[in-house]
Amino acid sequence: MGSRNLYLHNFGCQMNVYDSERIRQLLAARNYRLVEDPSEADLIFLNTCSVRAKPEQKVYSALGRFQSLKKKRPSLIIGVGGCLAQQEGEKFLHRFPYLDFVLGTKELGRINEVLDNLETLGKRGLAVSLGGRIDPYASLPLFPSPSKATAFIAIMQGCDNFCSFCIVPFVRGREVSRPSREILEEIRALAAQGVKEVTLLGQNVNSYGNKTPDEISFTGLLEAIHEIQGIERIRFTTSHPKDLSPELIRSFGRLAKLCEHIHLPLQSGSNRVLKRMNRGYAREEYLEKVNQLRKACPQINITSDMIVGFPGEEEADFQSTLDVVEQVQFDDLFSFKYSDRSYTRAAGFQDKVPEEVSRRRLMELQARQRKITSKRNKAWEGRQVEVLLEGRSKENAEEKTGRTRTNHIVNFPGTDDPIGSLVQLRVVKAFAHSLRGERIV
Ligand code: SAM
Ligand code: SF4
């Protein structure tokens, strides 16, 4: 069979990036090769997100654009997968008659079976069950990735927390940890391919193994990965503040390969709002964990997520969010306007915040954080950092790019070092979203 072209577009989080990479590998076995231009594709696959209204709308408008491609070339196959596919299921096939298949979050591993049915029987595919399958990729073979220094690895699926604003438990199912044996095998295979840095993924990595008494703890998993030869750096995301244990906090500074960065979503600085969000911690407990983290590892980079305009959020609640942001001095913050999601408890709350109020609060919060990030980035000027070389800089092909252990992006003049090298740089300039470095010889 000749080579075929695959256009794969990812709309969501790092978990979707990981899922997309698995899809790419599965389709490589069918002779599909990635292309960057959808008009050259034999198969278009959209890995969708439904965490807020915006990414959802982007999927619908992309599908609208691809309709004309399908009209021109009826043999083109178009499929959707991931969270929005899970949420909408069959409705997707009705709304877009030219769509060939819909794969839910736990059925992505069935893509080849769905394509077989499509090619031999002309049958449109629909697989959106959340039950049954523990792991969408269990026992699937690994195909070699292109040479890369970094990789994501899902260590668990789903979530049991049911934060009142969040759709994830409804579209990714209950929390299930992958067996550590399988995770370690996957990381050893990646290390053998030259991967130097792994990021462990889960909605709440801190509760890894909690539901399986025979399984090692999350800290135990970090220790086992630490032993794998070739892996130089370990990261993880996302941590839930309520489950961040003293044992895990102590791992920073104790495990040499564990990078000095933690993404610890706070969501709001107001205890009243946190309670209605069902987050399971108070602002004071969060601040105490931040103190402990900085005590265990003074140089740790702390980033967070924040939602403004959650139903019932008063001006005083928003002020508490601004106060906590000033108090913690996050290195970076991902902030969002609350977005109503189907199935969630907050969607039924009556006291919605007007759009213009949410918009104003978001702008104010982001302006505050920009100043803090800029000040914290500036403090890196003149310092020596270790950077893992990931490839060419996006802005300037003459330059190389990589990340510090603290997860800062550093661009620097080209060197002959291969991808995956750990290079020592001096930071010469700090920008809003990156640093500029020079090689120390
Ligand atoms: N599991 C992670 C956690 O607990 O922080 C995050 C998962 S969620 C995919 C990523 C971020 O999206 C959340 O931290 C939250 O800030 C934001 N988010 C989730 N639902 C949202 C909603 N309905 N409206 C606005 N932002 C939302
Ligand atoms: Fe969503 Fe909360 Fe689970 Fe994160 S912990 S995925 S925000 S329900």
- Helix ranges, 127-217 (H): 168-172, 180-192
Residue 429 — very low, low, confident or very high, per pLDDT cuts 50/70/90?
A: very high
Question: What average pLDDT does range 171-186 have in this prediction?
Answer: 94
Number of Cβ within a 10 Å radius of residue 27: 21
Question: What average pLDDT does range 345-364 have in this prediction?
Answer: 98
Could you tell me which residues come within 8 angstroms of residue 28 by beta carbon, excluding any fewer than 6 positions away?
A: 143
- Helix ranges, 329-437 (H): 355-378
Ligand 2 atom at shortest distance from the alpha carbon of 172: 6
pLDDT in tens, 377-387: 999 999 999 99
Q: Which residues line ligand 2 (CB under 6 A)?
A: 159, 161-163, 166, 168-169, 203-204, 240
Ligand nearest to the CA of 267: 1
Ligand 1 atom at shortest distance from the alpha carbon of 340: 23
The finding on whether 307 has its CB within 6 A of some atom of ligand 1 is yes
Kind plus residue range of the DSSP H or E element containing 330: none
- How far is Cα of residue 238 from the mean position of the Cα atoms in its chain? 8
Residue 279 has pLDDT above 90, yes or no: yes
| Ligand 2 midpoint to CA 161 (Å) | 6
Residue 396 — very low, low, confident or very high, per pLDDT cuts 50/70/90?
A: confident
Give the phi and the psi of residue 90 in degrees, each rounded to 5. Answer: -60, -30
| Ligand 2 midpoint to CA 9 (Å) | 24
Mean pLDDT score of the chain: 94
Residue 90 has pLDDT above 90, yes or no: yes
Where does 104-220 show beta strands of DSSP type E? 125-127, 150-154, 156-157, 176-177, 197-201
Question: What average pLDDT does range 73-78 have in this prediction?
Answer: 96
d(CA 177, CA 267): 25
Q: Which residue has the higher pLDDT, 213 or 282?
A: 282
| Ligand 2 midpoint to CA 248 (Å) | 20
Q: Which mutation among 105, 157, 164, 166 tests ligand 1's pocket best, with the greatest number of atoms within 8 A of CB? A: 166
Residue 136 has pLDDT above 70, yes or no: no
Count of helix runs (H) and strand runs (E) in the chain:
13, 19
Quickly list DSSP for 365-388: HHHHHHHHHHHHHHTTTT-EEEEE
Residue 148 — very low, low, confident or very high, per pLDDT cuts 50/70/90?
A: confident
Residue 132 — very low, low, confident or very high, per pLDDT cuts 50/70/90?
A: low
Q: Which mutation among 49, 164, 240, 334 tests ligand 2's pocket best, with the greatest number of atoms within 8 A of CB? A: 240
Residue 336 has pLDDT above 60, yes or no: yes
Quickly list DSSP for 217-258: -HHHHHHHHHTSTT--EEEEE---GGG--HHHHHHTTTSTTB
Ligand 1 atom at shortest distance from the alpha carbon of 337: 25
Residue 134 has pLDDT above 70, yes or no: no
| Ligand 2 midpoint to CA 304 (Å) | 13
Question: What average pLDDT does range 132-142 have in this prediction?
Answer: 52
Number of Cβ within a 10 Å radius of residue 435: 24
| Ligand 2 midpoint to CA 163 (Å) | 6
Query: What pLDDT, on the 0 to 100 scale, is given for residue 383?
Result: 97
Query: What pLDDT, on the 0 to 100 scale, is given for residue 397?
Result: 84
Token look-up 């995770």 returns 183
Kind plus residue range of the DSSP H or E element containing 33: strand 32-34
Q: Name the burial class of residue 382, with classes exposed (0-12), middle (13-18) and buried (19+) by CB atoms within 10 angstroms of its CB.
A: exposed
- Residue nearest atom 25 of ligand 1, based on CA coordinates: 338
Tokens representing 411 are 């661009």
Strand partners, 301: 261
Ligand 2 atom at shortest distance from the alpha carbon of 240: 5
Ligand 2 atom at shortest distance from the alpha carbon of 267: 7
The finding on whether 267 has its CB within 6 A of some atom of ligand 1 is yes
Give the helix, strand, coil percentages of the chain, each rounded to 5.
35, 25, 40
Residue 418 has pLDDT above 60, yes or no: yes
d(CA 81, CA 79): 7
- Residue nearest atom 4 of ligand 1, based on CA coordinates: 240
